[in-house]
């Protein structure tokens, strides 16, 4: 599987970004975790800002994104179309830099992380560790192609931690009623993966060809109708949250 790098990201998000905010609604629990990591920062640059999810209240936020469609959905006043690899700011321009589920799109992760360190005194990065187990059942039983794609896009957590010289790594187990519709959000609500609008709000689903996705969705539909999914995953039905490898990395001061 090829990489959806930041050069192709504008086109991809110009396509999937339409209606993005309806499905990708910021979850208050993740917002609180990120907000705590950014506490005290008066000026923040949000790299790969998209529609502005998880930005801290009370701070002066500058949004950076390569997709104009995404920036058009951002409610802020300070918006710049730019690449993470070449941030158009002076060194130390911000108290903090944040990047939420975006670093896997950057064409040069090391350069992007170096840019975060250059322009801000504190770095807060929310990402996913491809080495974590267990993985979402959707990848295991229905769409192993997602795992192949994600393994090619996401850098192992240890490498991100090292590049940032991070001092803190916080786990974020996904709640069963998580409101931000990224890939693992519906681990206890499998019927929502049948919704095309839900799938199109995920860059992974939007990247894979229909001839891969649609047969897998039909298998899931059949397993839900027969009760097979519920038999196979009965242990999940009473869980409040599951750790699928999402982590908040904090570096700097």
Tell me the per-residue pLDDT of 98-132, one tens digit each, with 9 for 90 and over: 999 999 889 899 999 999 999 999 999 999 999 99
Nearest by Cα to 54 from 180, 155, 157, 204: 180
**What pLDDT was estimated at residue 204?**
82
The answer to whether the peptide bond before residue 67 is cis (omega within 30 degrees of 0) is no
Task: Give the pLDDT of residue 57.
Answer: 93
In angstroms, the CA 206 to CA 210 distance is: 9
Q: How confident is the model at residue 22 (pLDDT cuts 50, 70, 90)?
A: low
* Per-residue pLDDT at 20 exceeds 60: no
How do residues 28-73 score in pLDDT, each as one tens digit? 999 999 999 999 999 999 999 988 999 999 999 999 999 888 888 8
pLDDT of residue 21: 57
Is residue 115 within 8 A of residue 82, CB to CB? The reply is: no
Residue 159: the pLDDT is: 95
Give mean pLDDT, residues 189-218: 91
Is it the case that residue 199 has pLDDT exceeding 50? yes
Phi, psi of 97 (to 5 degrees): -120, 135
Over residues 132-186, the pLDDT tens digits come to 999 999 999 999 999 998 888 899 999 999 999 999 999 999 999 999 988 899 9
Look at residue 17 in the predicted model and tell me its pLDDT.
Answer: 46
Residue 3 has pLDDT above 50, yes or no: no
User: Is pLDDT at 5 greater than 70 in this prediction?
Assistant: no
Q: How many CB atoms lie within 10 A of CB 132?
A: 15
The predicted pLDDT at position 24 comes to 72
More confident: 229 or 50: 229
> CA angle at residue 198 from 53 to 128, to 5 degrees?
55
For the chain, the DSSP string reads: -----TTTHHHHHHHHTTTHHHHBPPPHHHHHHHHHHTTT-SEEEEET-TTTTTPPTTSEEEEEES-HHHHHH---S-EEE--TTS--S-TT-EEEEEEES-GGG-S-HHHHHHHHHHHEEEEEEEEE-TT-SSPPHIIIII-HHHHHHHHHHSPPHHHHHHHHT-SEEEE-PEETT--B-SGGGGTT-GGGGG-HHHHHTSHHHHHS-HHHHHHHHHHHHHHHHHTHHHHHTGGGTT-SEE--SEEEEEEE-
Per-residue model confidence (pLDDT) at position 51: 84
What's phi and psi for 209, nearest 5 deg? -70, 150
CB atoms within 10 A of CB 68: 14
Where does the pLDDT of residue 18 fall: very low under 50, low under 70, confident under 90, or very high at 90 and above?
very low
Q: Copy the structure tokens of residue 54.
A: 């998880």
| Interatomic CA distance for residues 251 and 162, integer angstroms | 10
């Amino acid at each position: 599987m090829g990489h959806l790098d930041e050069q192709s990201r504008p086109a991809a998000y110009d396509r999937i970004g339409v209606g993005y905010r309806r499905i990708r609604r910021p979850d208050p629990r993740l917002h609180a975790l990120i907000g705590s990591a950014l506490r005290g920062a008066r000026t923040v640059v949000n790299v790969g800002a998209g529609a502005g999810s998880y930005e801290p209240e009370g701070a002066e936020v500058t949004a950076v994104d390569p997709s104009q469609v995404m920036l058009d959905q951002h409610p802020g006043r300070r918006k710049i179309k730019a690449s993470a690899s070449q941030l158009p700011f002076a060194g130390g321009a911000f108290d903090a830099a944040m990047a939420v589920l975006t670093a896997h799109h950057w064409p040069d992760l090391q350069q992007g992380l170096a840019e975060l360190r250059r322009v801000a005194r504190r770095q807060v990065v929310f990402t996913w560790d491809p080495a974590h187990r267990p993985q979402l059942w959707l990848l295991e039983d229905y769409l192993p192609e997602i795992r192949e794609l994600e393994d090619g896009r996401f850098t192992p957590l240890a490498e991100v931690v090292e590049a940032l010289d991070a001092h803190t790594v916080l786990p974020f187990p996904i709640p069963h009623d998580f409101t931000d519709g990224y890939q693992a959000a519906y681990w206890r609500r499998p019927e929502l993966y049948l919704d095309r609008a839900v799938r199109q709000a995920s860059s992974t689903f939007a990247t894979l060809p229909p001839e891969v996705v649609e047969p897998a969705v039909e298998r899931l539909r059949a397993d839900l109708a027969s009760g097979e999914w519920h038999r196979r995953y009965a242990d999940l039905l009473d869980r409040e949250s599951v750790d699928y490898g999402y982590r908040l990395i904090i570096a700097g001061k």
